[in-house]
């Protein structure tokens, strides 16, 4: 039975980019390991992680010196680390989090073949890496699952009672329900999130596009309704399956969520009440329009409260944070070198996969 299920899953659910969009290379002089299509960054590490099912997966760790949380990101179906690299760097900077992304078995330069059970072992290996290598605590980790990545994300979250939070981006109710509107769960179905989400005991943010052409919008709304600890969802009007990162509301809402879950439990009571009172039918959609104004310009147009506070607070910790912010400004400027690299014709945007087209334009949307 299990073999049949894995076979069905592999044929219907997994479409790794072929050929892979990167190679893992080691610099002969320095010994630095990096992805072939990107220059080395001081805050980015490339790792190979063994899994309990005998495969070896490639992972990418992005460090942020200001981070109070760590994001464990499980990407979508037709993507690999070569396509996700720039998004991971952007998220780490804008959300001020450490981030670990990984390729499933059979994706990118990870060994083995993709299957439901292998992805469960893959995310466990990634989580183990965060705890054992980077000393992350369960209470500091946020699981992020995009599309098919919601499967391993929910499966792991249901078994970790002290997680900081979970983010579900264009999630699925189950594999079979993506294709057919079945009302019952069958033995051969995969990624049965609909049956597991009620076991997740941490705050959950659901993000979904109302015009998703791959995973119907109803998957996101149903999962949100079944969550124990709901956070105000982000329903992006007109958003499709692969373009949600282009909406300025995307990063704005993520920032708000990360900030909220980093507060003490007593401080979270307000957003919990707001989520309980949230009514889907009455939510204003005007603020969810894909505004053409860039995220960066929106940020610059607002008075900086951070600067005013820094003048009033002159403690050594504040001064240290200011210095770190300056260094991170330099990091953002260094991303321009990646833009030039992208124009050289070797960037992943030249690949036919449409699943990560949104990544190619993130700098213009977020940085203005």
> Could you give the residue numbers annotated as active site?
147, 212, 241
Nearest-Å Rg of the Cα atoms of the chain is 20
Please confirm whether the linkage preceding 76 is cis (ω < 30° from 0): no
User: How many angstroms separate the CA atoms of 366 and 368, rounded?
Assistant: 6
Neighbours of 275 (CB within 10 A): 18
User: How many angstroms separate the CA atoms of 55 and 49, rounded?
Assistant: 8
How many residues comprise the chain?
368
Q: What is the DSSP letter of 158?
A: T
* DSSP letters spanning 143-197: EEEEGGGHHHHHHHHTT-TT-SEEEEES--S-HHHHHS--SS--TT----HHHHG
Residue 291 has which token pair? 């505004």
**CA separation, residue 331 to residues 21, 30, 62, 209, 338 (Å):** 24, 21, 12, 31, 11
Q: Which residues contact 225 (CB under 8 A, 6 or more apart)?
A: none
How far separated are the first and last CA of the chain, in Å rounded?
Answer: 52
Nearest C-alpha neighbor of 96 from the set 71, 118, 75, 76: 71
* Strand partners of residue 208: 235
User: How many angstroms separate the CA atoms of 27 and 334, rounded?
Assistant: 20
């Amino acid at each position: 039975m299990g073999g049949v299920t894995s076979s069905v899953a592999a044929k219907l659910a997994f479409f790794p980019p072929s050929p892979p969009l990167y190679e893992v290379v080691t610099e002969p002089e320095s010994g630095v390991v990096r992805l072939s299509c990107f220059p080395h960054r001081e805050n980015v590490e490339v790792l190979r992680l063994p899994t309990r099912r005998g495969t070896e997966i490639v992972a990418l760790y992005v460090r942020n010196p200001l981070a109070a949380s760590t994001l464990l990101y499980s990407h979508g179906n037709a993507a690999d680390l070569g396509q996700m690299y720039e998004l991971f760097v952007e998220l780490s900077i804008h959300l001020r989090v450490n981030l670990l992304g990984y390729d499933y078995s059979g994706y990118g330069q990870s060994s083995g073949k993709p299957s439901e059970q292998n992805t469960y072992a893959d995310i466990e290996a990634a989580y183990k890496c965060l705890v054992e290598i980077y000393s992350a605590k369960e209470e500091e980790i946020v699981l992020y699952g995009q599309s098919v990545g919601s499967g391993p994300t929910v499966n792991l979250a249901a078994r970790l009672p002290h997680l900081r939070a979970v983010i579900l981006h264009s999630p699925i109710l189950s594999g079979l329900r993506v294709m057919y509107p079945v009302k019952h769960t069958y033995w051969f179905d995969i990624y049965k999130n609909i049956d597991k989400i009620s076991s997740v005991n941490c705050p959950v943010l659901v993000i979904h596009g109302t015009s998703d052409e791959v995973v119907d919008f109803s998957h996101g709304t149903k999962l949100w309704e079944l969550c124990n600890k709901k956070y105000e969802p982000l329903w992006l009007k007109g958003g499709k399956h692969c373009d949600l990162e282009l909406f300025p509301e995307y990063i704005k809402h993520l920032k708000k969520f990360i900030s909220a879950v980093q507060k003490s439990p007593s401080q979270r009571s307000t957003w919990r009440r707001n989520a309980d009172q949230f009514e889907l039918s009455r939510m204003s959609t005007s603020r969810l329009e894909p505004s053409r104004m860039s995220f960066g310009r929106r940020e610059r147009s607002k008075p900086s409260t951070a600067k005013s506070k820094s003048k009033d607070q002159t403690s050594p910790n504040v001064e240290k944070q200011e210095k770190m912010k300056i260094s991170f400004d330099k990091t953002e400027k260094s991303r321009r070198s990646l833009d030039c690299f992208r124009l050289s014709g070797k960037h992943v945007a030249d690949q036919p996969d449409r699943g990560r087209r949104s990544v190619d334009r993130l700098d213009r949307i977020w940085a203005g």
